[in-house]
Amino acid sequence: MENITFTRDELKNQLQSSGVQQQELFERARQVRNNAQGNKLNIRGVIELSNSCVENCMYCAMRRDNRLIDRYTLDEETILSIADQIINAGIPTVFLQSGESAKSGYLLESVIPEIYQRYNCDILLCAGKKDAETYKRYKKAGANGYILKFEMSNPSLFEKTTGASHAERLSCIRSIRSSGMKLGTGNISGLPNQTLDDIIDDIFLAIELSPEFVSPFIPNNGTPYEKAPKGNIDLTLNLMAIWRIVFPNALIPTVSALEYIHPDGQAAGLNAGANVITVNFTPKQNRDKYAIYAKDRFVVSLEHAFKTAKQADMSLI
Ligand code: SAH
């Protein structure tokens, strides 16, 4: 693993960079990315299996106390036919994302081996906390990556914001690592009550865990944070660029939330060093109910992915 090339003071300074300094930061991030991995944009197809969730995070509309959304869980046949569409579109990674529940956990156990046997493709998961044995079974069934963000490195901020245990979340992240799946992790930036020092600590924690993800904060309807200010796009882009410089070989997504807070926000993410875009394949009627980020969230189509790659002058792979 690379050693961090920034001190705490440098991080503070770079996180707040603007104007010419910011352009230089982004330029450096692009150079690091292109030297390590080429000027290539990786593409994933996501299926959002279920919006049922046992957690109660203050920022997320899938939180269990939110009575304003209709809960759905896709059936196995629907999931498999969408996986087929993803593969037929030439996309090499099927990304299965879900709220955290026993039901979606079991569903994964049956669809992972089917998808793997049919297409021998990359299977990436993001479905919350599971026990160590479950992560191992997912790996054995054919999944090769799992995203579980630590969200916040500050334990008391994490516990106040999510109502869950920080130690348990970190222990799950370590179990994913030992299952042999690739680990995706990261934070949310721009949350209410989060300081710049908290974000610097997030970077140091990420270095310990080996990251590939950062996402801005978007206030969500039906959550206690619905009236909070949207995350600051410059802070997020600066953080993404720092992340890229620290981790030349990481896959760093330019998340749809960037497009929601700013037009062409995803192209800006690529200009700051990201190299992954996720296209949404969830059926329309369910997609509107899978309200992470926001009810009127930006939904990435294949056309939008092509357009974004072109804007950032990257080739799609
Ligand atoms: N429940 C699962 C996975 C689904 S949510 C889990 O706990 O991992 C996937 C990610 O969406 C979360 O990790 C969180 O970082 C992000 N997210 C949810 N609501 C958000 C919001 N309002 N703003 C920014 N990111 C959000």
Q: What is the pLDDT of residue 305?
A: 96
For residue 189 the two structure tokens come to: 């930036």
Q: What is the pLDDT of residue 285?
A: 87
- Of ligand 1's listed atoms, the one at least distance from the Cα of 100 is 1
Contacts 24+ apart (CB under 8 A), 110-118: 110/76, 111/76, 111/79, 111/80, 111/83, 112/138, 112/141, 112/142, 112/143, 113/141, 113/142, 114/76, 114/80, 115/80, 115/83, 115/142, 116/141, 116/142, 116/143, 117/142, 118/80, 118/83, 118/84
Helix/strand number for the chain, H first, E second = 13, 9
Per DSSP, 151 falls in state: B
How many Å apart are CA 127 and CA 50, to the nearest integer? 9
pLDDT in tens, the chain (317 residues): 455 679 999 999 999 999 999 999 999 999 999 999 999 999 999 999 999 999 999 999 999 999 989 999 999 999 999 999 999 999 999 999 999 999 999 999 999 999 999 999 999 999 999 999 999 999 999 999 999 999 999 999 999 999 999 999 999 999 999 999 999 999 999 999 999 999 999 999 999 998 777 889 999 989 999 999 998 999 999 999 999 999 999 999 999 999 999 999 999 999 999 999 999 999 988 988 887 777 788 899 999 999 999 999 999 87
* Domain limits, the chain: 8-307
Among 55, 130, 215, 258, which residue has the most ligand 1 atoms within 8 Å of its CB, making it the best to mutate? 215
Among 52, 57, 59, which residue has the most ligand 1 atoms within 8 Å of its CB, making it the best to mutate? 59
For ligand 1, is residue 162 a contact (CB within 6 Å)?
Answer: no
For ligand 1, is residue 149 a contact (CB within 6 Å)?
Answer: yes
Question: Residue whose CA is closest, atom 19 of ligand 1?
Answer: 60
- Of ligand 1's listed atoms, the one at least distance from the Cα of 53 is 1
Q: What is the pLDDT of residue 291?
A: 76
For ligand 1, is residue 260 a contact (CB within 6 Å)?
Answer: no
Q: CATH homologous superfamily of domain 8-307?
A: Aldolase class I (3.20.20.70)
Q: Tell me which H or E stretch contains 49.
A: strand 40-50
Write down the mean pLDDT value for the chain.
Answer: 94
Q: What is the pLDDT of residue 82?
A: 97
* Cα 20 to averaged position of ligand 1 atoms, centre (Å): 32
Q: What is the pLDDT of residue 289?
A: 83
Q: What is the pLDDT of residue 1?
A: 45
Contact 11, 205 (CB under 8 A): no
How many Å apart are CA 307 and CA 122, to the nearest integer? 24
- Of ligand 1's listed atoms, the one at least distance from the Cα of 59 is 22
Which residues does 241 contact at the CB level (< 8 Å), separation at least 6? 14, 25, 26, 28, 29, 272, 273
* Cα 305 to averaged position of ligand 1 atoms, centre (Å): 21
Q: What is the pLDDT of residues 215-238, one digit of tens each?
A: 899 999 899 999 999 989 999 999
Q: What is the pLDDT of residue 317?
A: 79
- Of ligand 1's listed atoms, the one at least distance from the Cα of 98 is 4
